Structure 1
Amino acid sequence: MSSQLQNPVRVGIVGLGGIGHHHAERITDLGETLVGGVDVADEARQRFEDEYNVPTFGTYEELYEAGIDAVLITTPNKFHEQYAIEALESGVDVLLEKPLANTLESAERIVDAAHKADSFCVVGFNNRFNPGAEVFKTYQEDGRFGNITHVEANYVRQRGIPGRGGWFTTKEISGGGALLDIGVHAIDLALHFLDFPEITEVSGETRSEFGGREDYTYLEMWGEDEEKIEFTVDDHATAFIRTAAGQSVSIEVAWASNRPPNNDFVIQGTEGGATFDRESGDLTIHEVNDIGANHFSNTDIQTREEDTHEREQEYFFDIVRSGEVPKRNTVDQALEVQRVIDAIYRSDEKGHAIQL
């Protein structure tokens, strides 16, 4: 995209860690105006200033006084509520990194503030912007698969705990482990493929089998261990969702497991199905036909590789400019995902399915 937009959006970032830098690079690539950033850590602010040559601040008030149209919030989960509500009440449009919040109650307060605000909030489920996922969704809307009856959603790492001892592995700050960190993507994409149906029952189990072990064996680490290895969250979750229409979703997510990685979403319909690889973007459509003779057909769909975070930002900035009401990645959809996650944790605690 050209770096000379006629009406660039003035953007700030709250939370200047790795994902904040990741988003900042795409803001500048898209030609929007990066005004500055906010972080409570002096070191993080200095690093961001050096990298992007913009001012940084210790409080959100200073950033808003600098004049912004939109803000990207990339803080640890516990602080999503504070910064999102302040932005919405200040009339600033928000792109909030997933998950919506660290608890269901906090998520509900964010949604309530969004409903009352003149500005809007969308949530960073970037996998929906994968071209393969968009091709599947378009074919689905055209009726190619008939009625979707079941989605198998996998987001399994063989080893990929995001640094033990940091906020990701500290329940007080994160709210949860693998289920809340990467499970949100699996649940969101599955519900997206089902058009966010009415959910009636959720059951699940969560485990913590690897994160606290001194002999945690890996070839490479997703993040880096802190000096004090604290691990108070789950690293593996299995769940099952039932809907009012008789559809179902099975979910398998893990930061670490003794099995090969798996990023497949297997979608079954009455007239056809598909396998979508969330990581590679590969999409294969499965169909049967009786033309000439009864036969199976597995069609591989090839798409151009895209940066899903950049495409997500493009969508966000376009609706900031146009003033449209967001129709994708809405806070209400994100709240449904949060409700499922909360129900899985409660099901694990109580030992039985949770009725919704």
Structure 2
Amino acid sequence: MTRDASQHSIRVGIVGLGGIGHHHAERIADTPGRLVGGVDISADARDRFEAAYDVPTFETFDALYDEGIDAAIVTTPNKFHEEYAVEALESGVDVLLEKPLANTLDSAERIAAAARDADAFCMVGFNNRFSPGVEVFKSYQDEGRFGDLTHVEANWVRRRGIPGRGSWFTSKAVAGGGALLDIGVHAIDLALHFLDFPEVVEVTGNTRSEFGGRDDYTYLEMYGEDVEDADFDVDDHASAYIRTAEGQSISLEVAWATNRPPTNEFVAQGTDGGATFDRETGDLTVHRVSDAGAAHFEDAAVETRSNDTHKREQRAFFDAVRAGEAPDRNTVEQALTVQRVIDAIYRSAETGRAVDLSESSDEAVPAPERSPEKPRQ
């Protein structure tokens, strides 16, 4: 069935009707999209979604496709990303796929391969790139205000913030990993985005699971339900050092739970200036030095309008659907680079050694190429 979203509102289906599925559904009304249905294997989830949005829901993607859709937003647990994303792409339906690309590197590579071969595209949900502070940073970077960027500190640390213990988030079989795959994926993507996705040549990392399995885990609030005696077989803390072919580096610190103050700061250091971006508040501070008048340090606060990053992400996705061209941001190839780095961190943690990803290695992680434009057939 041929889809043409150029002359009408974009017909959108959501696959995965849990919390993030509802989060996306609530925002579609303020975009060029029109929600026409949803998919979930859970009858209870389908009932709640139908009651909330007055659209039909189905057990299979085929049934949603037959309803008539131009685009799909996939928000299932990580293990099922491949199944639904590949089915949609092979059907010629453009996909906005929530991060991470998949639960394993092998699965992520199959999604990327399907996107390369399809007459549709896959955009990946790294919504933090759509923060005004990030976009101001990239604009300043393009103007050369920072000189050559050399290092990024990427910090996403919660004092207590494990998603519901016993939920799919804390199951390695379903999620693929813990804090590193849940929030670390955002931190790595944003750091690589600041550096324009260079070639990664070496990764050293360590992961820990210190809090999630404890009977005396003390918290003030939890994202989901805390299931007593639930299995917890994922990481809740990860540290890593990432080096690029051009000599740039990234230091990474992510955690669901720690005994330290939380932080969401990203600090970019360049030869002519730098900046600190607070992901939590959206604040951007630009750091410079000068001898104009007298030697001095300058820390300039950048004030922007607050915005909904998921809504802006949706708008960019729908614009690409309407244009019939793969977007040049949040590409599946960039997401695959992030997934390869995550996989390398886990392997480094397991072996206690750095992982070589240089071009001379069989596991090279090249800089992602821009996705080719694919005209509709």
Q: TM-score if structure 1 supplies the norm length?
A: 0.98
Between the aligned partners of 2:178 and 2:232, the Cα distance in structure 1 is 9
Residue number in structure 2 paired with 1:120: 121
What residue in structure 2 maps to residue 299 of structure 1? Answer: 300
What letter is aligned with 1:82?
E
Which whole-Å deviations, capped at 9, do the CAs of 1:166-190 have from their partners, x for residues lacking one? 1000000000000000000000000
- 8 Å CA contact 2:89–2:119 kept in 1: the answer is yes
Match of 2:314 in 1: 313
| Deviation (angstroms), 1:209 | 0.3
CA distance in 2, matches of 1:142, 1:31: 32
Find the aligned partners of 1:291 and 1:6 in 2 and give their Cα distance: 55
The aligned residue for residue 132 of structure 1 is 133
1:20 paired residue number: 21
Task: Give 1:62's aligned residue.
Answer: 63
Q: Which residue of 1 aligns with 2:193?
A: 192
Aligned to 2:327: 326
Q: Kindly report which structure 2 residues correspond to 1:247-258, keeping only aligned pairs within 5 A, or say none.
A: 247-258=248-259
Shift of 1:294: 0.8
Aligned to 2:161: 160
Alignment of 1:1-356 (within 5 A): 7-30=8-31, 32-356=33-357
Q: Deviations over 1:183-227 (max 9, x none)?
A: 000000000000001111000000000000010001111222135
C-alpha distance in structure 1 between counterparts of 2:308 and 2:190, whole Å? 17
CA distance in 1 between counterparts of 2:150 and 2:66 reads 50
Displacement, 1:141?
1.0
Question: Partners in 2 of 1:226 and 1:50 — Cα distance?
Answer: 27
Distance 2:333 2:194 in 1: 16
Percent identity for Structure 1 against Structure 2: 72
TM-align CA RMSD: 1.0
Other structure's SS at 1:24 match:
helix
C-alpha distance in 2 between matches for 1:197 and 1:55: 44
Question: Which TM-score applies when normalising by structure 2?
Answer: 0.92
Distance 2:318 2:11 in 1: 10
The alpha carbon displacement at 1:6 in A equals 7.0
2:167 touches 2:224 (CA, 8 Å); kept in 1?
A: no
C-alpha displacement of 1:33: 1.1
The structural deviation recorded for 1:251 is 0.2
Mapped to 1, the partners of 2:186 and 2:21 lie a distance apart of 19
**Separation (CA, whole Å) in 2 of partners of 1:85 and 1:6:** 26
Consecutive unaligned residues of structure 1, counting only runs of 5 or more, are: none
In the TM superposition, residue 324 of structure 1 has moved relative to its aligned partner by: 2.0
* Aligned residues of 1:158 and 1:257 also touching (Cα < 8 A): yes
- In the TM superposition, residue 68 of structure 1 has moved relative to its aligned partner by 0.0
Give the aligned residue type for 1:146.
G
State the 1:8 CA deviation: 1.0
Residue range with higher mean Cα deviation, 169-178 or 226-235 = 226-235
SS in 2 for 1:133: helix
Q: Supply the distance in 1 between the matched residues of 2:203 and 2:315 (Cα, whole angstroms).
A: 34
Residue segments in structure 2 that go unaligned for 5+ positions in a row: 1-5, 358-377
- Give runs of ≥4 in structure 1 deviating > 4 Å: none
2:242 and 2:250 in contact (8 A); partners too: yes
Q: Distance in 2 between matches of 1:69 and 1:60?
A: 13
In the alignment of these two chains, the number of paired residues is 352
Deviations 1:91-115, CA, capped at 9 Å, x for gaps: 0000000000000000000000000
SS in 2 for 1:246: coil
Q: 2:70 and 2:7 mapped to 1: Cα distance?
A: 15
Q: Deviations over 1:63-121 (max 9, x none)?
A: 00000000000000000001000000000000000000000000000000000001000
Q: Per-residue displacement from partner, 1:1-26 (whole Å, max 9, x unpaired)?
A: xxxx9721000000000000000000
CA distance in 2, matches of 1:148, 1:223: 39
Distance 2:214 2:329 in 1: 40
> Deviation at 1:29?
2.7
Q: Output one character per residue of 1:259-316: Cα deviation in whole Å (capped at 9) or x when no partner.
A: 1110000000000000000111000000011111111100000000000000000000
Distance 1:32 1:247 in 2: 40
Q: Is the partner of 1:192 in helix, strand or coil?
A: helix
- 2:269 is paired with a residue whose SS is strand
